[in-house]
Structure 1
Amino acid sequence: MAAESVFTWAAPPIKFGPGAVDEIGYDVAQLGVRRVLVLTDPGVAATGLPERVVETLRSAGLEAGLFADVHVEPTDVSVKAAIAYAQESDWDGFVAVGGGSSIDTAKAVNLLTSYPADLLDYVNKPIGKGLAPQGPVKPLVAVPTTAGTGAECTAVCIMDFLDLKVKTGISHPRLRPVLAVVDPQVTLSLPPGVTAATGFDILCHALESYTARPYDDYDRKKPEERVAYCGANPISDIWIENTLPMLARSFRTAYSKGDDVAARTDMLQAALFAGMGFGNAGVHIPHACAYPIAGRVPSGYHPADYPADEAMVPHGQAVVLTAPAAFRHTYASNPSRHLRAAQLLDPSVDGPEEDRLPEAIRRLMRDTNSPNGLAAVGYTESDIDDFVDGALKQQRLLTIAPMPVDADVLGAVFRESLTLW
């Protein structure tokens, strides 16, 4: 086939700034909907913000309901429960209030209530059938309360499949929210541990999309075959070039001084910018590795500032644990990109060129008290074969890597990630 000559890029309209969330009733009313379901998780519900959103919607003349049982790091079981709840009534639209867990759950609820089917029918191949939605879905407005996932901009929803012990999801342009309402004030109460984990999700979104296989390195696709993740492209690159400096100046401050409005604003903008970058270019090895890491958590690991009643490796943490090793392996595919990313993230980093980006990541991890590799969260060498098997199932992501990725490469990345410093 001929080389691809077309790339696609899309993002929702955005409303950004302090007080933006208080205008959501007006914004949703403009979408022509009448009955709206707000989805959130118990932790965010406890802050009172989702109920505030419900009241704002009602003040605008809309009927609004609230589902507050979204599972943090959603599973196929929790997503099906949310879908079942939503199917008990007829909703014209949805509002997701929370981190990526709430926004991704709302995307799945929107899809499955618009076009009911078995969840696996829509899940990415080879785990599911990878079917496309049969038509447009209902309006979904996203209100992020963490600075990390960029889910308010993306066309993917991710979840753990418990029996399969792997994390994967659904990807289609129709899942993208129709509006992102981004208010820095709602993130001021985020604790340090959550700030760090979600911040590393931003970082890896930015670095993976910036170093992704270029869009014109693929075989030419028919219009109906083009997917949401099309590879590194000029527009996504612009957003990432602006994301990394914000992380460099504000990540550590947001972690240590959570009430710093300027730092929180930077982090939310960085999440948004990275979302507009990776939501079109895609992510690759660290995310593919993260899904099996998060899917089979050691029973004794409880990350700081997350719910203490269950073991988990938060998504952003799972991603960054293999990032230093992954970028060491991808360096040769495009040295100038890796060096540019390292310079934007930490201009003071030096040493061997292939280790500059990994070292910039490690410095940030150390400064935010992040786990020192897979061993620090309870994994051992004996887990690597299962990790490799799980990561190999993420072909949707591995095809975006700037180099061929097989079991040997993944095994090396996981082994090098057992201890990072």
Structure 2
Amino acid sequence: MIDKYASLTGNWNYPTKVRFGAGRIKELADACRAAGIRRPLLVTDPGLKPLPMIMDAIGTLEHGGLACALFADVHPNPIGADVEAGLKIYRAGHHDGVIVFGGGSAMDAGKAIAFMSGQTRPMWDYEDREDWWTRADAAGIAPIVAVPTTAGTGSEVGRAAVIVDERDHTKKIIFHPKMQPVEVIADPELTVGLPAHITAATGMDALSHNLEAYCSPFFHPLGNGVALEGMRLVREWLPVAVKTGSNVDARAYMLAASSMGATAFQKGLGAMHSLSHPCSSLRGTHHGLTNAVVMPYVLVHNKSAIEEKLAASARYMNLKDQSFNGFVDWILQLRQDIGIPNTLKEIGVDLDMIPEAAPMAMEDPSTGGNPLPMTVAAYETLYRNAIEGRLV
């Protein structure tokens, strides 16, 4: 399998060490040793726990002489209690590192467990606000090896974890530079079994990361370049991955686009994510799917600030209509082609949620990266438009 897809195999150091290519999960024990891990805790989610890929990974580790334990009690939108439960197992087993294996939920929970393994303050004291990350004892952060099984969040190359605070039902970002995994195994074969609807939702999450990073007003030419190519890869390969899930080339390019999105969004995100986070914490919606639903509504809202940027991206992506409207039309057609709903109402978000959700969106850290300044009233309007399907 590796020989057949040799052109899509490589070792990268951008922004961390990545072992990319089909079949490279066999290198998991080597990656752990390179990260200084001898007793890993493998963190995954309940859906992956019974699958052969998890048992095979544990077998690979044991064959490589590494003692491994498994933790999979993770909610789809991880909560603080998930991190506490994982920490108990980590400490009881005297583990010295974490393997985060799965999609965004496993990545977030596992990275938070590794981060908190040597801290003494409550996790919420390290939220991504001002310089709160400097409160952490960097020496107390366990090394992380990341194995993504979805192509969406890009958390395998990220420096943060998103955890729901049960006290107020808000998603909070826990950040520290040392939360970035030191080794990544990006094996597209691990994503082949994803159902089409999950492939679509996670792929649109990758697109939202690249797109919002590109539209963010902050100066970061490197981020812009990565984001542009990430969007182009999504355009070319997401429909293929959804239609033909066994296409390893498509899976590989989408896995790359996912990592690119998370690399680019160090530049910033925006209102798509600010709208999406309250929906996930209050209604349990899938994060990538929610981003996909609100995407065109946010683009139209931001038109005055991003019209020239999206026309430029339309040219780079060789869209038929190389204008702002042409770009939005592409988004709408892509959503239709891969089965994304048109409204938030279709995924369980109703008008009754707006009074609670709009202030939460305004307070979300992603709001600071939106191309236009936001207000609670603007978020109320965006929620209403996205629920009722008014693209104005």
In the superposition, the TM-score normalised over structure 2's length comes to 0.90
64-73 vs 252-261, which moves further: 64-73
Equivalent of 2:56 in 5, 28, 52: 52
Inter-partner Cα distance in structure 2 for 1:10 and 1:17: 15
Q: What does 1:81-230 align with in structure 2 at a 5 Å threshold?
A: 81-125=85-129, 132-136=135-139, 137-215=141-219
Inter-partner Cα distance in structure 1 for 2:348 and 2:63: 49
Equivalent of 2:335 in 343, 346, 365: 365
Inter-partner Cα distance in structure 1 for 2:235 and 2:75: 31
Inter-partner Cα distance in structure 1 for 2:36 and 2:172: 33
User: Could you tell me how far 1:60 is from its partner in structure 2?
Assistant: 2.1
Change over 3 Å in CA distance of 1:355–1:412 after alignment to 2? farther
User: Could you tell me how far 1:130 is from its partner in structure 2?
Assistant: 6.0
2:243 alignment counterpart: 256
User: Could you tell me how far 1:167 is from its partner in structure 2?
Assistant: 1.8
Moved over 4 A (4+): 128-131, 343-346
2:382 alignment counterpart: 413
Inter-partner Cα distance in structure 1 for 2:212 and 2:327: 12
Change over 3 Å in CA distance of 1:333–1:200 after alignment to 2? same
Inter-partner Cα distance in structure 2 for 1:140 and 1:237: 27
1:331 alignment counterpart: 303
User: Could you tell me how far 1:267 is from its partner in structure 2?
Assistant: 0.9
Q: Is the 8 A contact 1:331 1:338 kept in 2?
A: no
Inter-partner Cα distance in structure 1 for 2:192 and 2:299: 32
2:280 alignment counterpart: 294
Count, aligned residues: 377
Inter-partner Cα distance in structure 1 for 2:172 and 2:329: 29
User: Could you tell me how far 1:10 is from its partner in structure 2?
Assistant: 6.9
Q: In the alignment, is residue 377 of structure 1 matched against residue 347 of structure 2?
A: yes
User: Could you tell me how far 1:38 is from its partner in structure 2?
Assistant: 0.9
25-34 vs 12-21, which moves further: 25-34
CA distances 1:257-298 after superposition (whole Å, capped 9, x unpaired): 1111121111111112212211x212111011111111111x
Amino acid in the other structure paired with 1:27? A
Amino acid in the other structure paired with 1:293? C
Inter-partner Cα distance in structure 2 for 1:98 and 1:37: 14
Amino acid in the other structure paired with 1:135? A
Q: What does 1:8-87 align with in structure 2 at a 5 Å threshold?
A: 11-87=15-91
Q: Is the 8 A contact 1:325 1:358 kept in 2?
A: no
Instruction: State the identity as a percent.
Output: 27
Give the secondary-structure state (helix, strand or coil) at the position aligned to 1:37.
strand
User: Could you tell me how far 1:76 is from its partner in structure 2?
Assistant: 2.1
Amino acid in the other structure paired with 2:293? L
Inter-partner Cα distance in structure 2 for 1:159 and 1:360: 33
Q: Is the 8 A contact 2:29 2:64 kept in 1?
A: yes
User: Could you tell me how far 1:125 is from its partner in structure 2?
Assistant: 4.2
Equivalent of 2:358 in 388, 392, 400: 388
Inter-partner Cα distance in structure 2 for 1:152 and 1:257: 24
Unaligned runs of 5+ in 1: 1-8, 216-232, 298-311
User: Could you tell me how far 1:149 is from its partner in structure 2?
Assistant: 0.4
Higher helix proportion = 2
159-168 vs 261-270, which moves further: 159-168
Inter-partner Cα distance in structure 1 for 2:258 and 2:129: 27
In the superposition, the TM-score normalised over structure 1's length comes to 0.84
Amino acid in the other structure paired with 1:170? I
Unaligned runs of 5+ in 2: 1-12
Inter-partner Cα distance in structure 2 for 1:282 and 1:267: 21
User: Could you tell me how far 1:381 is from its partner in structure 2?
Assistant: 2.8
Give the secondary-structure state (helix, strand or coil) at the position aligned to 2:41.
strand
Amino acid in the other structure paired with 2:383? F
Change over 3 Å in CA distance of 1:22–1:171 after alignment to 2? same
